[in-house]
Amino acid sequence: MPRFFENVFIGAGISCLAAARRRRGDSIVLEAAARPGGLCRSERVEGFTFDYTGHLLHLRRPRVRRWVRRLLGDNLARHRRSAWIFSSGVYTRYPFQGHFHGLPPRVAAECLLGFFEALQRGRPGRARDFASWARAQFGAGVARHFMIPYNRKLWTVDPAELTLEWLDRFVPRPGLEQVVRGALEDVDDAAGYNACFHYPRRGGIESLVEALARGLRLECGQRVTTIDLQHRRLRLAGGEEIAFGNLASCIPLPRLVRMCRPLPDSVRERAGELRWAGVYNLNLGLPGPAPARHWVYLPERRFRPYRFGYASNFSAALAPAGHHAVYVEASYRGGRRPDRRRLRRRLLADLAAAGVITSRRRPVVTCELDIPCAYVIYDRRRTPAVRAIRRYLEQRRVFPIGRYGRWEYSSMEDALWQGLQLAERLA
Ligand SMILES: Cc1cc2nc3c(=O)[nH]c(=O)nc-3n(C[C@H](O)[C@H](O)[C@H](O)COP(=O)(O)OP(=O)(O)OC[C@H]3O[C@@H](n4cnc5c(N)ncnc54)[C@H](O)[C@@H]3O)c2cc1C
């Protein structure tokens, strides 16, 4: 007889851990990797701790904020963001569209005039794709110097292919006064969704995972391979079968769909329409102190990565004394693994060109991390496909949650929130 659990969670990402924590007794979490946490794990290498790129907690919902505080106790610090853009050879404050001060006068004037023209023309609400929206909202200068090249790098597709569904929270829209002030002087106003953030004092972001996973029935090294929806059983790579009442999953949605039987052609085809970008993440341990910045966007085409950050400025414990930790991120088309050696060489050269690596600050430690599924692509086919797939699965009491289960652009807080909501639904 197979083991039976009322609630089976596939994947120990923080969304499933949060839900399982609230359900407890009647639940099991099955995780393919050797330890839980998914993208919220932290790797320890020679005294450094590296996350899968920057993983900062933006806690907007009071209930989640209280819960995270309870889970982490005194191991949680609050920071005021120090985010920058490096372009035209200078550092300017984030968001680019509100801080033209410091740019070469020709570029600043182009951005400011473009913004005035856009304001005069109005009607960004009519735009249907991100590229047109960015031009209508911010003007040609901001579109040319930041919005279009940065988003092309991040998503790996032409921004004209992107819808507007994802941007509400992620793209700040400063008003006329802010833009003018930010062009005339250096204004430190910390606008946008991530003006403040929380981060563990010790242990990297994985300390949140450790707190969530404590006391749960969790089996690691258990890869789910197939799901029989009719007989409500799943099979593990080792051959064991497990029977379930409800099933929840935070693994990437197309992968979950491929495991399910029976699977109508219409659902299989929808899953085949979903596109995504992977991220190659190179982490470095460097000697000496870090500049007083948290992270830096690199919009220009001459740089392959889209962002780098000084992780040890989130928590000094991430680097040994006298050192600092840096991460750098480069996207690639989902499903097309890049040549890692070439990419690594390129990122090191780019970091040297941006002044992060110098002859005195050479890496003493490197750590490469791959995120094969990092950003889901919001093209026109994504939302109808996700809706149809979720309908099919949820009618059979299979609940996809988390950033890749829901196939969305969302945060750790959203993952925790979805876990809490699912636990209530299962009750
Ligand atoms: C580059 C990048 C930067 C980010 N930065 C931030 C940030 O600063 N702040 C923020 O709030 N969020 C950030 N996020 C988002 C954050 O990582 C996610 O919201 C969160 O980790 C999602 O967790 P999850 O529960 O959806 O599952 P995941 O973390 O995706 O975990 C899925 C789990 O499923 C397991 N699994 C896969 N297949 C199987 C199988 N067949 N059987 C069993 N287990 C399986 C995997 O091993 C993994 O453990 C970032 C994401 C990326 C990509």
CA dist 212 and 204 (Å) reads 14
20 lines ligand 1 (CB under 6 A): no
Question: Is residue 394 pLDDT above 80, yes or no?
Answer: yes
Its pTM stands at 0.96
> Is 276-376 the same fold as 3-40+61-66+202-274+380-426?
no
Distance 52 CA to ligand 1 centre (A): 9
**Which of 250, 373, 420 gets mutated to test ligand 1 (max ligand atoms within 8 A of its CB)?**
250
Homologous superfamily assigned to 276-376: Protoporphyrinogen oxidase, mitochondrial; domain 2 (3.90.660.20)
Q: What is the tens place of the pLDDT at every residue in 408-420?
A: 999 999 999 999 9
Between CA 330 and CA 75, with CA 401 as vertex, the angle to 5 degrees is: 70
Question: Is residue 129 pLDDT above 80, yes or no?
Answer: yes
The mean pLDDT of 113-120, rounded to a whole number, is 96
Q: What is the tens place of the pLDDT at every residue in 308-344?
A: 999 999 999 999 999 999 999 999 999 999 999 999 9
CA-wise closest residue to 368 among 387, 397, 346, 390: 346
The mean pLDDT of 188-209, rounded to a whole number, is 87
Q: Residues 212-229, buried b or exposed e (16+ Cβ, 10 A)?
A: bbeebebeeebebeebeb
CA dist 268 and 110 (Å) reads 47
CATH 3.50.50.60, applies to 3-40+61-66+202-274+380-426: yes
User: What is the pLDDT of the chain when averaged over all its residues?
Assistant: 96
The mean pLDDT of 163-181, rounded to a whole number, is 92
CA dist 142 and 145 (Å) reads 5
15 lines ligand 1 (CB under 6 A): yes
Q: What is the tens place of the pLDDT at every residue in 62-102?
A: 999 999 999 999 999 999 999 999 999 999 999 999 999 99
402 lines ligand 1 (CB under 6 A): yes
Question: Is residue 24 pLDDT above 80, yes or no?
Answer: no
In the structure, what pLDDT confidence band is assigned to residue 122 with cuts at 50, 70 and 90? Answer: confident
CA atoms within 13 A on the CB side of 359: 0
Domains in the chain: boundaries: 3-40+61-66+202-274+380-426, 96-183, 276-376
371 lines ligand 1 (CB under 6 A): yes
Among the atoms of ligand 1, which is closest to the Cα of residue 249? Answer: 34
309 lines ligand 1 (CB under 6 A): no
Distance 170 CA to ligand 1 centre (A): 18
53 lines ligand 1 (CB under 6 A): yes
pLDDT (0 to 100) of residue 212: 98
Among the atoms of ligand 1, which is closest to the Cα of residue 375? Answer: 53
250 lines ligand 1 (CB under 6 A): yes
pLDDT (0 to 100) of residue 192: 57
pLDDT (0 to 100) of residue 407: 98
